[in-house]
Structure 1
Amino acid sequence: MNQHVLPIEPIIPELMKALDTNTSAVLIASPGAGKTTRVPLALLKEKWLEGRIILLLEPRRLAARAAAKYMAEQLGERVGETVGYRVRMDTRVGPGTRIEVITEGVLARLLQADPALEHVGLVIFDEFHERSLHADLGLALCHQAQHLLREDLRILVMSATMEAQPIAALLGNASVLTSEGRAFPVKTQYLTVKSQERIETTVVKTIVEALEHNEGDLLVFLPGAGEIRRVASGLSGNLMGSQAGSQVIIAQLHGGLSQGDQDQALAAAPAGKRKVVLATSIAETSLTVEGIQVVIDSGLMRVPRFSPRTGMTRLETVPVSLASADQRRGRAGRLGPGVCYRLWTEQGNRQLMPRGTPEIKDADLASLVLELAAWGVCDPSELSWLDPPPTGAYLQAQALLIQLAALNQDGTITKHGKQIAEMGLHPRLAHMILQAVPLALGNMACELAALLSERDFLRGGVPARSVDLRTRLELLHTYAAKGDHSAQQLDMEHQVDTALCRRILVEAAQWKKELGISRDTHPDHAACGLLLAFAYPDRIAQRRTTGKFLLSNGRGAVITELQPLSNTPYLVAADLDDYGLESRMYLAAPVEAADLQKYLQEIVQEESLITWDRQMQSVKARQRQRLGALILKEIPHPDPDPLDILQALFDGLREEGLQLLPWTRAATQLRERLHFMHQFSPDWPDVSEVSLIDTLAEWLGDHLYGLKNRGDLQKLNLFMILEGMLSWQQRQQLETYAPTHLTVPSGSRIPVDYSDPASPALSVRLQEMFGLADTPRIAGGKVALTLRLLSPAQRPVQVTRDLSSFWRDAYFEVKKDLKGRYPKHYWPDDPLAATPTQRAKPRV
C-alpha cells in the first residue's frame, strides 16, 4: 500500500476512536484532504467491523468507479478484489471484496433486500453536502435500521462544506471531527462588469487568456453538455493553426460520456501537452483531475426542478452557491498555487446563496415514496430527516404511484410495486417495461427506458426539432444495425451523438438480459405511444386544435412548430416543460384511442353523465369513457336511471331558478299568500325562492318523475302542488286570513295583491269606496291593507293605509283635481254619506 501522507491522516486516529466508542460520526474535511479514498482503507481492520464490509456512497457513477480504482491501486490490486464498486448497470465485486463503493441509488435496493444490512459494518455517506435525494433517503433508512435492527451498525457522514451540527444532532449527537486539509493559495479573478455575451463566448475568450498567462492544465465548469460541446467547438476554431493550439488537448467530462472518455478526461496530459477539461458540476467533488492549476468557473449549474402543480420536472440553469463556487476554486490549489477565473463580478459574488437547495425540496419524489412504501413507511414523518419531503410533492408522487398500480389507496405497496422497486429505474419506466413484456413489446420498452433516461442524442437539424420519439428509435436502430461504421454518416446527416447511442443500446441490452428477453426483434414503432402511455398516464394528450392539446392531467400542451404530430388525435408526451398555462412538448408519440381503452382499463373510467343542458333546456344523458381530463368516447345513454334524471332536473332548477316552472296567475297568487302567512307563523310553509330551491325534493320531487325538459315542466299544476303543502286547517284559515278578493262598498270583488308580503294591497277606484269609513283589514284584523285609490281611468290618485284620515284631510284636494278632469263623474261633498258606484254616477 502506498504510504503517501495525505492531509486527512492526522485526524484518522481520532476518527477510529470516535467510531469505536460510538456508532455515528461526522467528518468535515477540505477538498483534496483524501477522505474519500484514505478513510475506508484506514478503517478496514477495526475490530468492530467483525468481518463485515464497508459501503462507501458516492453521488455519481464516475466518482464511484474512480474512487474504487484509486483505492485498489493503493493496495496493489485490481478493482473487484478487496475494493469493488456497484453502480447502475455495472458491478465489479468479488467474494473477497471488503469495501464496496456504490452510488446512492444502489443503497436503497440493498436496504430493501436486507433491511438490517447484516453483511455491512459501516456505511459512509461521502460528499453529503450535495444533499442528493438518494443520500437523504439512504441516511433516513440507515438511521432507522440502526435504531430498530442493528445497534452496532456504524454511520459516517463526510463532507467538505457542510454545517456539521444539524447532521450530528440527527444522528444522536454524533462526534464531529474536522480536518483542515492542505490547499495552496488560489488567486481569484472576477469580471469587472457583468458580461452581456453568451456564456460560451466569454468562456472561450477566458480559456485563451488563461492559456497565455498561466502554466498547467485548465478545468472549466459549465452548466451542461450542450454548453460543453459549443465551447469545445468554439475553442477548437479559435486555436486552429496556432502553435499553442497544437499543444492543447480539449477533453470533455460529463455524465453522458462513456467510461473510457471519462477516464481519459481525468488522466494527466501527455508530456509536452496541456489539457483543457470542460466539465459539469460532476467535477466539483470526489474526482481528482490530474494536473489542474487553473479553474474557470461559469458560475452556473443545471438542476432539476419538480412542480407539484403540474407533476413535471424541468432542468433549470441557476447560479451556483457560494459553497459550490469555493469547491470549484479549490480544484486549482491541489498541486500548488493556482488561479481561478470567476465569470461574474465581485458584487455578484456577494449575492450568491451560501449553500444549494437540498434536492428533496425540489425533486420528483416518486422513487422516494416507492422506496418508503417498500420499507413499510406510508407517512414520511415516521423517519428522521434533515429536511422532510414537501407535502405537495409527496402527495403528487403517491397519486402517480397509485395510478401506476404500485401503491394501494392507503399508500401500502402492491406486488407490482415491489417489482418496480427492485428494478432500480424511475417507477414510470419500470412500470412501462413490466407492462410491455406480456405484450411482446419488452425490447422496445427497454430501449425507450434507456433512451428516456438519458439526454436527447440529437444535437440539431430537422430530426432534433421533431417531437416524434419514433424518429429517435429509428435512428437508434440504424446505428444498432450498422454499428460504428454508420457513426460518421449519422453524425453528418442528423448530428447524432453516436457515443450516447452506444451507451443507450448497452443499457437497453442489460435490461433485456435481466428480463430474459432473448429475441432482439423490433416491433412496429406504432406501439411506441402505447408504451409511453403506460409510463406517463398523466401526459396522454388529446388534440383540441392544430398543435394544441389537452393533457389527461388537465393542463394544456403545444407543439410549437407545425409537424405531422400537430394534428394527431391522441399522443403521449414523454418530455415537456411546465412554463405558463400550456407546456411545450419536446418528445411525444401517437397512440390510438382504442389501445388506451383496451390496455389502460384500470384508469379509464366508465361513467354516466346525466346533467342539465342549459342551452337545450333539457336533461342530457350520456355515457362516456374518461381518462383523467380526456373524454375518449361519448354516446347517448340508452337507459338512464330515473333518479339521476330527477337529480339533473333539480340541478337545472338550482342553476336557472324557479322561473323554469309554469307560474300561472293563480299559482303565483297562492305562493304570495303563503309567503304572507309565513310571516305570522313558522308553521306555514316557507315559499321564498331560497327555501323552495333548498327543499325541491320535499315539495316537488314526486311530481317530476318522467319529466326531462322545460316543455315537460310546463305540464305541472303548481297551484295544486303548493296547496298540497297545507294541512286541512291551514286551507280553511287561508281563505279567511288571506282572502284572494275583498268585496268593496260598490259590490265589486277586488283581488288582493300579496306581491309585497309586508304590505298587501288593494287597487280600487275611489268612487267604489264611498261610504266606507275605515281601512279594510285581513289576517283576523291584524293587517290593514294598503289602498291604492284610482281615478276613473285606473290611475293612482292616492295610496293610504288610513282611509278615515284620507276622507277627512286629503279627499277634498283630490276631489278638486278629479272633478276638473272628470266633470261627468259623481264627486260628492260628503264621501261617507255618498253612494258607492262602479259607474260615472250612481243609479237613481
Structure 2
Amino acid sequence: MGLIKKVLTRRRDLKLIVTSATMNSDRFARFYGGAPEFFIPGRTFPVDIQYSRSPCEDYVDSAVRQVLAIHVSQPTGDILVFMTGQEDIEVTCELIAERLSQLNDPPKLSILPIYSQMPADLQAKIFDRAAPGVRKVIVATNIAETSLTVDGIMYVVDCGFSKLKVYNPRMGMDTLQITPVSQANASQRAGRAGRTGPGKAFHLYTERAFRDEFYIATIPEIQRTNLANTVLLLKSLGVRDLLDFDFMDPPPQDTITTSLFDLWSLGALTNLGDLTPLGKLMTSFPMDPSLAKLVLTSSTDYSCGEEILTIVAMLSVPSVFYRPKERLDEADAAREKFFVHDSDHLTLLTVYQQWSANGRRDQWCVKHFLHPKALRRAEEIRNQISDIMKSHNLSVVSCGYDLDIVRKCICSGFYHQAAKRKGLGEYINLRTSVSMNLHPTSALYNSGDPPDYVVYHELILTSKEYMSVATSVDAHWLADLGGVFYSVKEKGYSAGTGRREVEFSRKGELEREMEGDRRVQREREEVERRERERGKGEVKEVVVGKVVKKVGGGGRGGSAVVRPVIGRRR
C-alpha cells in the first residue's frame, strides 16, 4: 500500500480501487488522502445475537452445553461452532458425542470437525447435505469466518478466541498464541448465521467484554510476523530508509532492524545495507530468504539442487504427516519408517522420493498416514522453483548418495538458527541462549545419540519452545559458514610445546571488511558534504522580465542519504 501511494503521487492518470467485505474502509480512505468510499450492500438476513450473562471459565465445556441446548430446543438448522485449533476441535466433538449419548432418545446429530491438517475428503463432508431428520454441527477454526460458506447454517456458537502466529524479534521465534478475537472477527462469525436465512449467534462472552476488552480489528499481520521477505522486496524496489517508509500499519522497529540484520547475516545485504548479487537473485524466489539462499547455494556451491529443491518445496507446504487422534500409534509408526536419524530435512526428502517412486497414488498416502494434497502441492512448488532456476541459467543436479553435502547446504541457509545440546532432547540457541527442545515427532528425538549441534527451520512456542524440522551439523560448518556468529576452539597436544588451544574463526576477517566499508561510507559522506557547501556558494543570474536577480549563496543544497552500517550484535 505504501508503494502504491508513492506511485499515485507521480501518476495522476492511475486509478486505484481497494475492495473488501470486511475491511475498515475509513482507514484506507484516510491513508490515501481522503479518497471517496462506496458501499455496496449485500443480501443478508437478520441475526439474533446473544451474549453470555457471565464470563465462562471453560469455553470448550460452554460450547458443548450450548450446542446440545440448541439441538434439543431450537427449530431445524445446522450449527457452526468456532474453536481455536485442532486439539480444541477434537475435544469438543468428543464431548458432544459423549453427552449426546447420555440423553434419552435425542434427535440425530452429525458431528463434523474441520481443520487444516484433515485430509481433503474428510474436510469435504461439511458440504454434504445431511440426511432427513439429521442436524449437522460443524466445529471449525477461524477458517470458517470468510473462506468457507456452508448452506444451511442457522446457528453460530463463538468461543471468542482464535490462534494467531506472533513473531518475537528478540528471540527470533514464532509463537502460537490463543488470543481473544476482535470485534470485527466476532461480527463476521455471527454473520455466518444469516447467509441463507434468519439465524442466531451465541457468543460465549459477555457484552461488556465485547465492548470494552476486544480490539476493534485484528492486529495487522505486518505488525506481528517476521518481515525478512518484505524487507528484501522493498530493498529490491529501491527503498533505502525502511524506518521512514510510509507503511499503512507501521511494524515495530525491532522487527525491521532484526530483519535487516538477518538478511545481512545471510549475505543478502552488504555492510552498508545495499543488496548484494546474492540478495538480488534471492528476490526472484517467492519464499523465505533462508530457503531462497538454500536453493541458490545448492546450485552454485554444493551441486545438490535436485535434493534441495524437494526439501524446500516440502518446507513450503503444511505438514505432510497426518496424525488422527484415534490412531496416533499407527501414524507415528508409519512416520518412523521414513526417518533419516540425523535430519528431519532428509526425512522430508525421503517421503517425497518414496511417494514419487510409488506412483504418487492417494491410496499409498492413506496407508502411510500422509496428506496427498500437500504432496501434490509440494510437487507444484518444486516445478515452479525449477523453472525459476532455469530462467537464471542455474544448474539443478543431484549429489547422489553424498547426503553430508545436503546437510552442509542446509547449514549454509540456517546457520543463524543453530543450537547446542545441553541435555537429552534439550538444546540452547547459540545466538540468543534461549532454551529449546527437539519435538517428540522429530527423527533426531529418538535417535539414541542426539547430535551436539543442530540447525532448525523455525522455532514454535506451544507448551515448550520446540525446534521445527532440525538437522545435525558439524561445528566447523557453523564456524566457516556463520563466521559472523561462531568460532571453534580445539584443544590439542604438541610434542614441542605441550598442550595448546587452536581457534578457528572468521570474525577478525569479517570485522576488517566492515571497518573498510565504514571508511568508504565516511569518505562518501565527506564528498557529499563538500559538494553541498560548494553548492551554497554558487551565484546564478536569473532574468525575470527586464530585471536581473541574483539567486544563491544562502540556500540549502541537497541532502545526504545516510544508510545504516549493520554490525554484529554483541
TM normalised by structure 2 equals 0.70
1:542 to 420, 425, 430: 420
CA contact (8 A) 1:219 1:292 kept: yes
State the partner residue of 1:490.
Answer: 368
Q: Cα deviation per residue 1:732-780 (whole Å; 9 max; x = unaligned)?
A: xxxxxxxxxxxxxxxxxxxxxxxxxxxxxxxxxxxxxxxxxxxxxxxxx
How far off is 1:409 after superposition? Answer: 2.0
How far off is 1:547 after superposition? Answer: 3.9
1:500 to 351, 374, 392: 374
Change (3 A) 1:241 1:549: closer
How far off is 1:299 after superposition? Answer: 1.6
How far apart are the structure 1 equivalents of 2:400 and 2:118? 26
How far apart are the structure 1 equivalents of 2:437 and 2:92? 30
How far off is 1:362 after superposition? Answer: 1.5
State the partner residue of 1:440.
Answer: 303
**Which amino acid in structure 2 is aligned with residue 283 of structure 1?**
A
State the partner residue of 1:830.
Answer: none
Q: Does 1:481 align with 2:345?
A: no
Q: Does 1:342 align with 2:225?
A: no
How far apart are the structure 2 equivalents of 1:508 and 1:211? 47
Q: Does 1:456 align with 2:319?
A: yes
How far apart are the structure 2 equivalents of 1:481 and 1:319? 46
State the partner residue of 1:585.
Answer: 467
Q: Does 1:430 align with 2:292?
A: yes
**Which amino acid in structure 2 is aligned with residue 535 of structure 1?**
G
CA contact (8 A) 2:176 2:461 kept: no
How far apart are the structure 2 equivalents of 1:522 and 1:294? 57
Q: Which structure would you say has the larger Rg?
A: 1
How far off is 1:205 after superposition? Answer: 4.8
Q: Does 1:575 align with 2:453?
A: no
Q: Does 1:419 align with 2:281?
A: yes
How far apart are the structure 2 equivalents of 1:573 and 1:627? 22
Change (3 A) 1:522 1:403: same
State the partner residue of 2:503.
Answer: 624
State the partner residue of 2:218.
Answer: 356
How far apart are the structure 2 equivalents of 1:450 and 1:205? 43
**Which amino acid in structure 2 is aligned with residue 342 of structure 1?**
H
Unaligned runs of 5+ residues in structure 1 are: 1-138, 610-619, 629-844
How far off is 1:412 after superposition? Answer: 1.9
Q: Cα deviation per residue 1:436-465 (whole Å; 9 max; x = unaligned)?
A: 234232233233323333443443555789
1:397 to 248, 259, 269: 259
1:533 to 387, 393, 411: 411
**Which amino acid in structure 2 is aligned with residue 173 of structure 1?**
G
Change (3 A) 1:607 1:336: closer
2:7 to 123, 145, 153: 145
CA contact (8 A) 1:251 1:265 kept: no
2:238 to 368, 376, 379: 376
Q: Cα deviation per residue 1:181-212 (whole Å; 9 max; x = unaligned)?
A: 4432212334455444473x554554444344
How far apart are the structure 1 equivalents of 2:446 and 2:268? 36
CA contact (8 A) 2:49 2:203 kept: yes
How far off is 1:224 after superposition? Answer: 2.8
Farther off after superposition, 349-358 or 273-282: 273-282
Q: Does 1:188 align with 2:49?
A: yes
CA contact (8 A) 1:250 1:275 kept: yes
**Which amino acid in structure 2 is aligned with residue 447 of structure 1?**
T
Q: Cα deviation per residue 1:238-278 (whole Å; 9 max; x = unaligned)?
A: 77999988773736264x5788877x468573674754444
- Identity across the alignment (%): 27
How far apart are the structure 2 equivalents of 1:229 and 1:437? 44
How far apart are the structure 1 equivalents of 2:209 and 2:367? 45
How far apart are the structure 1 equivalents of 2:44 and 2:206? 24
Q: Does 1:210 align with 2:70?
A: yes
Return structure 1 stretches of 4+ with deviation > 6 angstroms. Answer: 236-247, 257-262, 463-467, 517-522, 604-609
How far off is 1:304 after superposition? Answer: 1.6
CA contact (8 A) 1:371 1:421 kept: yes
1:764-803 aligned within 5 A: none
How far apart are the structure 1 equivalents of 2:412 and 2:151? 45
How far off is 1:567 after superposition? Answer: 3.6
CA contact (8 A) 2:422 2:428 kept: yes
CA contact (8 A) 2:483 2:506 kept: no
How far apart are the structure 1 equivalents of 2:75 and 2:188? 21
CA contact (8 A) 2:483 2:505 kept: no
Change (3 A) 1:238 1:437: farther
**Which amino acid in structure 1 is aligned with residue 374 of structure 2?**
L
SS of the residue aligned with 2:274? coil
CA contact (8 A) 1:192 1:345 kept: yes
CA contact (8 A) 1:578 1:584 kept: yes
How far apart are the structure 2 equivalents of 1:452 and 1:329? 35
How far apart are the structure 1 equivalents of 2:98 and 2:501? 66
How far apart are the structure 1 equivalents of 2:364 and 2:399? 20
Change (3 A) 1:501 1:162: closer
How far apart are the structure 2 equivalents of 1:410 and 1:505? 38
State the partner residue of 2:36.
Answer: 175
SS of the residue aligned with 2:129? coil
Unaligned runs of 5+ residues in structure 2 are: 491-498, 508-570
Q: Does 1:407 align with 2:289?
A: no
SS of the residue aligned with 1:283? helix
State the partner residue of 1:88.
Answer: none
**Which amino acid in structure 2 is aligned with residue 361 of structure 1?**
Q
TM normalised by structure 1 equals 0.49
**Which amino acid in structure 2 is aligned with residue 589 of structure 1?**
T
How far apart are the structure 2 equivalents of 1:145 and 1:250? 48
SS of the residue aligned with 1:422? coil
How far apart are the structure 1 equivalents of 2:65 and 2:408? 48
CA contact (8 A) 1:543 1:570 kept: yes
**Which amino acid in structure 1 is aligned with residue 418 of structure 2?**
I
SS of the residue aligned with 1:332? helix
CA contact (8 A) 1:223 1:302 kept: yes
**RMSD of aligned C-alpha atoms?**
4.1
How far apart are the structure 1 equivalents of 2:400 and 2:88? 34
Q: Cα deviation per residue 1:446-502 (whole Å; 9 max; x = unaligned)?
A: 3332333344344355578999524454445444433333334323xxxx4454344
Change (3 A) 1:601 1:159: closer
CA contact (8 A) 1:557 1:585 kept: no
**Which amino acid in structure 2 is aligned with residue 508 of structure 1?**
R
SS of the residue aligned with 1:355? coil
How far off is 1:374 after superposition? Answer: 0.8
How far apart are the structure 1 equivalents of 2:240 and 2:286? 20
State the partner residue of 2:129.
Answer: 269
SS of the residue aligned with 1:187? strand
CA contact (8 A) 1:248 1:275 kept: yes
Q: Cα deviation per residue 1:290-309 (whole Å; 9 max; x = unaligned)?
A: 33222222222121211121
